[in-house]
């Protein structure tokens, strides 16, 4: 059982990387990744929320959607809970842990409009993961997101001192670098066959 | 007369000056994911435009009734409702497109373009301006998707909308159908758009 | 119990619980902040899309007030000239 | 107090309206969706068991399969779907076997997201037709060169993992079926 969890974790971080294979979280990926420090704290905040959203989504799906057999409410239920949960957690952290709020809490509202979170919840339902596996999947996808955004940030910091063609400055060159990174990650495909 | 050209300018802005993908750089997730074929790009563009139009109208009508504190959850529920309707409509009438778009249809809900557009525009402006703006952004988004997906389909499969376009012994560039191809093509297209814009600006300056 | 009634009840209960949690949070967990930040938040799109490099619109507002960020980085609010003018006013 | 009531009320109102609208749309589109799915399976079943002109859902052990009958209502084969992970992601295959379970009639790859241009060639007729009348006494194996025995198929060049994946998931399911028959 543990072996399976590790395989799912490694597959989600490296092979089915959320940014470089499923194109998720591209808005923050382009926007935040010019400083390594902000990219990493952004990554960890996303991972934190993904790890708590995964079980919540699993519970909603199994105890509301499947029990009452209302498959069409899936998107609305997940998104209303994610949006309210994020708003509530952010307020709690801002009130009781101001220091934590300063470093990580500010990224929380970003989570509602983050494609990666909704995609992750829908995937763990589609693949019928168990509760534990869903949490590992959520955690893995967050780490995968952090990995991709951290690598990109360090490259872009380096880019400051290189001359980039005028028209490609900013997002253009970032996308091209992301293309090359995706090419590297495609090399890892087929390492593990796990669903 | 002033009212008409305000609407017109809202609409036109979405097409080029503030094209969501090439200028505002928002709504990129579906753009990269489903544009390996023009058919899918077009379907995603139209689905997004419908959702944008429908939720823009509803939200700008009820913008004063929704209290500020529950603004984001309520807007996102309205958008999710329309996206579910689109998803059910696609499953019922176009099953193979729905299978190919697959997990990216629900991602329209969290597309930064839609929530960004709702929040920034529809919730602060009267309905008719919101509709004009939504239409402009939607069509701008669809045109950019078609541009990107036609490049990727022609190079990746040698076909356009399914019809063979390139003959002779052209070996399709398989990379264009994979994620790296999507990133590279969009990056280069962004560069091209910037070059065109600079050229247009210079010519305008020369004329003055 | 037909499906329409059932889904209406399920959503009403879910929204009710979430609404209650949010209203409780708004009343009990209020933290006082710079009033300008409040007005700025109303003018900024609030989409928290992260395209400006800041973590969220609230964070972007803080940076604007501290002068660390520039409004042009917020791609969405670039669209709305009169909105933009109000923001620039507030920041003077 | 009034403020919090207004918040809860508006959120609930929007949620209920959306639930009712969605339930109604779901009721309208549901028949069309199930019809599509049924048609898709039907096309696949008739493709893999060519002799069949009607089929019935049944179960062997707890595996659900389709019993196929020809014109004069005689059992002419079984069809069943198998799923497994290929090189990249899920592969779904519809397999048709003869009534006595010792011959594969045909297979059809329903879904695959293997690497375009390489792995996804498992969906081409060339690869699928190799499975026709393979005998099932012993396991099917994948060979690089030209197959000799009647239970061997040739792998797609450059996509051995995908070819083997298809063969493995078919073998495992047939194993299961034979055991629970």
CA A101, A102, A105, A108 torsion-angle sign: positive
Q: Which residues of D touch A195 (CB under 8 A)?
A: 85, 89-90
Identify whether residues C67 and C26 lie together within a single domain.
no
Which residues are registered as beta bridge partners of B164?
B159
Q: How far apart are CA B139 and CA A128, in angstroms?
A: 37
Max Cα separation, chain C? 60
* D25 domain-assigned: no
User: Above 70 in pLDDT, residue B25?
Assistant: yes
D21 contacts chain C (CB < 8 A): no
Top pLDDT among B119 and D52 is at D52
Q: Which residues of A touch C22 (CB under 8 A)?
A: 84, 87-88
D21 contacts chain A (CB < 8 A): no
DSSP-assigned letters across all residues of D63-99: EEEEEEE-TTS-EEEEEEEEEEE-SSSEEEEEEEE-T
A76 contacts chain D (CB < 8 A): yes
- Average pLDDT (D109-113) is 84
Considering its fold, how many domains does chain B have in total? 1
Domain with D142, as residue range(s), is: 48-180
pLDDT at A139: 94
pLDDT at D19: 94
CA torsion angle for B35, B37, B41, B42 (degrees, to 10)?
Answer: 170
Q: How far is CA A73 from CA A111, B56, C3, in A?
A: 21, 21, 11
Domain with A137, as residue range(s), is: 9-187
**Interior angle at CA B49, CA B47 and CA B54, nearest 5:** 95
DSSP-assigned letters across all residues of chain A: -HHHHHHHHHIIIIIT-TTTTT--SHHHHHHHTTSHHHHHHHHHHHHHHHHHHHHHHHHHIIIIIITTT-GGGHHHHHHHHHHHHHHHHHHHHHHH-HHHHHHTGGGGGGGTT-HHHHHHHHHHHHTT--HHHHHHHHHHHHHHHHHHHHHHHHHHHHHTTS---GGGTTHHHHHHHHHHHHHHHHHTTTS----
* A158 domain-assigned: yes
Q: Do B29 and A115 touch (CB under 8 A)?
A: yes
Identify whether residues C13 and C45 lie together within a single domain.
no
Identify whether residues C21 and C41 lie together within a single domain.
no
**Residue pair D130/D157 in contact by the 8 Å Cβ criterion:** no
Q: Do D33 and B69 touch (CB under 8 A)?
A: no
B13 contacts chain C (CB < 8 A): yes
Chain B, nearest residue to D19 by Cα: B81
* D63 domain-assigned: yes
**Residue pair D19/C8 in contact by the 8 Å Cβ criterion:** yes
**Beta pairing, strands D54-60 & B163-164:** unpaired
Top pLDDT among A99 and B150 is at B150
Q: Do C8 and D26 touch (CB under 8 A)?
A: no
Q: B176 exposed, middle or buried (CB, 10 Å; 0-12, 13-18, 19+)?
A: buried
ipTM above 0.85, yes or no: no
* A192 domain-assigned: no
* A141 domain-assigned: yes
For an interface test with D, the pick among B71, B81, B94, B106 (most D C-beta atoms closer than 10 Å) comes out as B81
**Residue pair A37/C50 in contact by the 8 Å Cβ criterion:** no
pLDDT at A180: 92
Identify whether residues C81 and C40 lie together within a single domain.
yes
Q: What is the mean pLDDT of chain C?
A: 78
CATH for C84: 1.10.15.40
User: Above 80 in pLDDT, residue B13?
Assistant: no
Identify whether residues C17 and C39 lie together within a single domain.
no
User: Above 80 in pLDDT, residue C49?
Assistant: no
Q: How far apart are CA A2 and CA B66, in angstroms?
A: 47
Q: Do B72 and A126 touch (CB under 8 A)?
A: no
How far is residue C23 CA from its own chain's centroid? 16
pLDDT at D22: 94
Q: How far apart are CA B46 and CA B79, in angstroms?
A: 15
Q: Which residues of B touch C51 (CB under 8 A)?
A: 24-26, 112
Nearest to A28 by CA among A121, A150, A136, A137: A150
Considering its fold, how many domains does chain C have in total? 2
Q: What number of other Cβ atoms are within 10 A of residue C23's Cβ?
A: 21
Considering its fold, how many domains does chain D have in total? 1
Top pLDDT among A33 and A93 is at A93
Q: How far apart are CA B54 and CA B8, in angstroms?
A: 19
Which of C3, C31, C55 comes nearest A95 by C-beta?
C31
Q: How far apart are CA C49 and CA A195, in angstroms?
A: 30
User: Above 90 in pLDDT, residue D119?
Assistant: no
Top pLDDT among B17 and B190 is at B190
Domain with B143, as residue range(s), is: 2-207
Which of A22, A172, A183 comes nearest B190 by C-beta?
A172
Which of A73, A189, A193 comes nearest D19 by C-beta?
A73
Which of A20, A113, A123 comes nearest B115 by C-beta?
A113
* D11 domain-assigned: no
* D6 domain-assigned: no
Identify whether residues C19 and C41 lie together within a single domain.
no
* D127 domain-assigned: yes
Q: Which residues of D touch A72 (CB under 8 A)?
A: 22-23, 25-26
Domain with C8, as residue range(s), is: 1-30
* D41 domain-assigned: no
* D2 domain-assigned: no
* A2 domain-assigned: no
* A130 domain-assigned: yes
pLDDT at A33: 65
User: Above 90 in pLDDT, residue C52?
Assistant: no
pLDDT at C89: 78
Subunits with 3+ C-beta pairs closer than 8 A to B? A, C, D
Helix, strand or coil, per DSSP, at residue B70: helix
> Comparing A10-19, B17-26, B137-146, D103-112, which segment has the lowest mean pLDDT?
B17-26
pLDDT at B120: 67
Identify whether residues C22 and C46 lie together within a single domain.
no
Q: Could you read off the pLDDT of B83-103 as tens digits, one per residue?
A: 999 999 999 999 988 888 888
Q: Which residues of D touch C16 (CB under 8 A)?
A: 8, 11-12
Top pLDDT among B2 and A70 is at A70
């Amino acid at each position: 059982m543990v072996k399976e969890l590790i395989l799912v974790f490694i597959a989600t971080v490296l092979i089915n990387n959320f940014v470089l294979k499923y194109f998720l979280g591209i808005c923050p990926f382009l926007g935040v990744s010019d400083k390594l420090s902000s990219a990493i704290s952004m990554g960890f905040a996303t991972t934190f929320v993904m790890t708590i959203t995964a079980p919540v989504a699993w519970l909603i799906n199994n105890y509301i959607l499947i029990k009452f057999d209302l498959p069409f409410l899936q998107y609305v239920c997940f998104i209303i809970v994610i949006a309210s949960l994020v708003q509530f957690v952010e307020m709690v952290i801002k009130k009781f842990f101001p220091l934590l709020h300063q470093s990580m809490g500010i990224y929380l509202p970003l989570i509602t409009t983050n494609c990666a979170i909704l995609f992750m919840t829908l995937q763990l339902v589609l693949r019928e993961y168990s509760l534990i596996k869903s949490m590992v999947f959520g955690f893995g996808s967050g780490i995968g997101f952090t990995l991709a955004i951290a690598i990109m940030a360090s490259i872009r910091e380096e880019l400051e001192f290189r001359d980039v063609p005028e028209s490609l400055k900013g997002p253009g060159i970032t996308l091209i670098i992301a293309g090359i990174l995706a090419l590297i990650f495609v090399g890892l495909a087929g390492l593990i066959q796990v669903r | 007369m002033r009212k008409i050209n305000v609407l017109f300018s809202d609409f036109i802005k979405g097409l080029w000056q503030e094209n969501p993908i090439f200028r505002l750089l928002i709504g990129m997730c579906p753009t990269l994911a489903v544009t390996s074929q023009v058919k899918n790009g077009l379907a995603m563009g139209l689905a997004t435009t419908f959702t944008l139009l429908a939720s823009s109208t509803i939200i700008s009508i009820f913008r004063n009734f929704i209290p500020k504190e529950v603004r984001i959850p309520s807007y996102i529920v309205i958008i999710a409702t329309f996206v579910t309707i689109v998803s059910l409509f696609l499953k019922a009438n176009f099953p193979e497109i729905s299978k190919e778009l697959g997990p990216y249809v629900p991602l329209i809900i969290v597309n930064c373009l839609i929530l960004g557009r709702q929040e920034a525009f529809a919730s602060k402006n009267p309905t008719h301006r919101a509709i004009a703006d939504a239409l402009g952004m939607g069509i701008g988004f669809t045109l950019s998707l078609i541009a990107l997906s036609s490049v990727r389909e022609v190079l990746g499969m040698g076909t356009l909308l399914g019809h063979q376009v390139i003959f002779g012994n052209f070996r399709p560039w398989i990379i264009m159908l994979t994620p790296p191809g999507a990133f590279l093509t969009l990056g280069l297209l962004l560069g091209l758009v910037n070059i065109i814009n600079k050229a247009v600006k210079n010519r305008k300056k020369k004329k003055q | 119990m037909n499906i329409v009634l059932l889904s209406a009840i399920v959503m009403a209960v879910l929204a009710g619980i979430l609404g209650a949690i949010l209203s409780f949070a708004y009343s009990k967990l209020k933290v006082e902040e710079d009033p300008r930040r409040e007005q700025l938040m109303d003018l900024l799109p609030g989409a928290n899309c992260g395209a400006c490099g800041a973590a969220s619109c609230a964070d972007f507002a803080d940076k604007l007030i501290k002068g660390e960020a520039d409004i042009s980085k917020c791609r969405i609010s670039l669209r709305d000239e009169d909105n933009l003018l109000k923001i620039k006013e507030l920041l003077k | 107090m009034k403020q919090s009531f207004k918040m809860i009320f508006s959120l609930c109102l929007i949620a209920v309206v959306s639930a009712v609208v969605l339930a109604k749309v779901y009721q309208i589109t549901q028949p069309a969706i199930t019809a599509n799915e049924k048609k898709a399976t039907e096309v696949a079943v008739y493709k893999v068991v060519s002799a069949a002109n009607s089929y019935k859902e049944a179960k062997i052990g707890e595996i659900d399969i389709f019993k196929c009958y020809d014109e004069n209502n005689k059992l002419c084969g079984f069809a069943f779907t198998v799923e497994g992970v290929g090189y990249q992601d899920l592969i779904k295959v519809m397999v048709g076997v003869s009534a006595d379970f010792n011959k594969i009639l045909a297979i059809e790859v329903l879904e695959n997201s293997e690497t375009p241009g390489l792995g996804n060639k498992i969906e081409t007729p060339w690869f699928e037709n190799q499975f026709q009348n393979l005998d099932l006494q012993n396991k099917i194996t994948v060979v690089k060169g030209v197959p000799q025995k009647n239970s061997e198929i040739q792998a797609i060049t450059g996509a051995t993992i995908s070819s083997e994946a298809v063969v493995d998931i078919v073998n495992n399911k047939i194993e299961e079926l034979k055991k629970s028959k």
